[in-house]
Amino acid sequence: MTGLFDLGGRVALVTGASRGIGRESALQLAAHGAAVAVSGNEPEGCEAVAAEIRAAGGRAVALPCDVEVPEEIDAVVPAALAALGRLDVLVSNVGLTAPPGPLTEVDDETYERIMTVNLRSGLRLAAHALPHLADGGAGSVVLTASIAALRGSSMVGLYSMTKAALVAMARNLAVEWGPRGVRVNAVAPGLIATDMTRPVVSDPERAGRRIAGTPLRRVGTPADVAGAVVYLAAPASAFVTGHVLVVDGGTTITDGT
């Protein structure tokens, strides 16, 4: 494979890769030539994805990691380097929602956990990965945010806050690491059919309202987001950094009517 989307010779580390958006991103990065370190907190799921990549002729290794455990985050980048020899792409794909409710009623324990998983873990992982991405001369970081980062919410305010901060993280890291050839961007999915969104997607009334407010009139798929991830990892986006690529079927461009 040659061209703008050729990832041959590149190595990608994808977190949250045992299912959903992370899984599809790992598979699509591999399909475009990258070797992939498949990471997540479900060891069997990670190995299944890595095995699927290998069965298709790709190169992959499963590296389970629980992002709530700092020591496991600290270990995953060295493990990827040991297994695959280099690191060119980091896809930090984690997201945890709090019980729905007013932002001012979030207790301290929930606040700390959501902030740690959704925000701190990504920064800690990036801190380990960025020097190695810079060594290759054309590294790319893709952070999974959400359209919740771009809008207010009366029910998932803490989740929205963490994803907005993740967008700010992408911009700041883009400024810091651009001179060393590393690009840092974020994707902001809308309603995507994953395990996390099943309560909405499986509810005809709630899903219907969301679809009615989406110009493309459907729920997104993990593959829709994975395509954006591949773009941001590939040479096609070589002059794109600090950007938030919205993948929502047009939900955020409507006025709600």
Amino acid at site 129: A
The active-site residue out of 5, 159, 177, 231 is: 159
* Phi, psi of 141, rounded to the nearest 5 degrees: -115, 135
Instruction: Check if 159 is active-site.
Output: yes
Short-list 141, 143, 164, CA closest to 153? 164
As separate numbers, helices (DSSP H) first and strands (DSSP E) second, the chain gives 9, 7
Tokens encoding 120: 């701190």
Q: Are 256 and 214 in contact (CB under 8 A)?
A: no
Residue 36 β-bridge partners: 12, 60
Residue given tokens 């994808």 in the structure block: 14
By annotation, the residues acting in catalysis are 159
